[in-house]
């Protein structure tokens, strides 16, 4: 482990992709304080910052596993960009939840986003995708199925999942990573598309 701390980020990514999970732990340890502080500075909520922080590392894991990480010696900037995009997404969600029609009527069908054609179609597609995802989840090993369920169906943070299952956050993240990989493999075998609108 001590030897890993002397390696560059790109060397650690390479080792991680070859199966050395300790290399990812060192990457996370090197960047966690700066990254969390950056996120917290933007969102001003510890709970939201923790969720975005954890989601950032999940996205980083998935992207690296897919071979889409370009080794250029800028891992810190790359992972900060992922966090930034997630913060922007969070702001969009909050903004949309706080939109209020300024019409004087109690209900305006023309401003009801729930009734637009695109939303109805998207909802139907998303419901089918979620049904397919549920079938894929059922094929996962118990520990992976548990983490996916707690994260996406109970909307728990990885810290809460780790606390509730008695494992470290890294173990919870690892289980999620393997669950995503297994679900992709099973989906490919069964020709199921997992694209949400």
pLDDT of 101: 46
Q: Are residues 89 and 128 in the same domain?
A: no
Number of structural domains the chain divides into: 2
- Model confidence over 118-158: pLDDT tens digits? 556 666 666 676 677 778 888 888 888 888 877 877 677 88
Query: pLDDT class for 197, splitting at 50, 70, 90?
Result: very low
pLDDT of 104: 46
Q: Are residues 70 and 125 in the same domain?
A: no
Q: Last residue of some domain: 75, 99, 123?
A: 99
Cα–Cα distances in Å, from 28 out to 16, 73, 108, 115? 12, 15, 48, 43
Q: Are residues 20 and 61 in the same domain?
A: yes
Average pLDDT, the chain: 80
Q: Are residues 92 and 119 in the same domain?
A: no
Expressed as residue numbers, the domain containing 140 is 115-197
96 in Cβ contact with 31 (< 8 Å): no
Q: Are residues 147 and 187 in the same domain?
A: yes
Instruction: Return the CATH number at 29.
Output: 1.10.1740.10
Q: Last residue of some domain: 71, 99, 127?
A: 99
Query: pLDDT class for 23, splitting at 50, 70, 90?
Result: very high
Q: Are residues 75 and 122 in the same domain?
A: no
Rounded Cα gap, residues 126 and 131, in angstroms: 8
What pTM was estimated for this model as a whole? 0.52
Q: Are residues 27 and 54 in the same domain?
A: yes
């Amino acid at each position: 482990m001590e030897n890993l701390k002397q390696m560059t980020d790109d060397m650690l990514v390479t080792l991680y992709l070859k199966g050395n999970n300790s290399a990812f732990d060192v990457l996370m340890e090197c960047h966690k304080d700066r990254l969390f502080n950056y996120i917290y500075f933007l969102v001003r909520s510890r709970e939201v910052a923790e969720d975005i922080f954890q989601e950032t590392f999940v996205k980083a894991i998935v992207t690296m596993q897919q071979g889409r990480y370009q080794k250029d010696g800028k891992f810190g900037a790359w992972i900060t960009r992922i966090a930034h995009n997630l913060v922007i997404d969070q702001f969009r969600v909050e903004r949309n939840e706080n939109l209020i029609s300024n019409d004087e009527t109690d209900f305006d069908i023309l401003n009801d986003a729930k009734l637009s054609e695109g939303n109805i179609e998207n909802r139907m597609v998303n419901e089918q995708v979620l049904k397919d995802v549920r079938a894929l989840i059922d094929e996962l090993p118990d520990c992976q199925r548990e983490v996916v369920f707690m994260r996406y169906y109970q909307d728990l943070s990885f810290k809460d999942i780790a606390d509730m299952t008695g494992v470290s956050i890294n173990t919870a993240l690892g289980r999620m990573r393997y669950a995503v990989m297994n679900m992709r493999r099973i989906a490919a075998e069964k020709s199921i598309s997992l694209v949400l609108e």
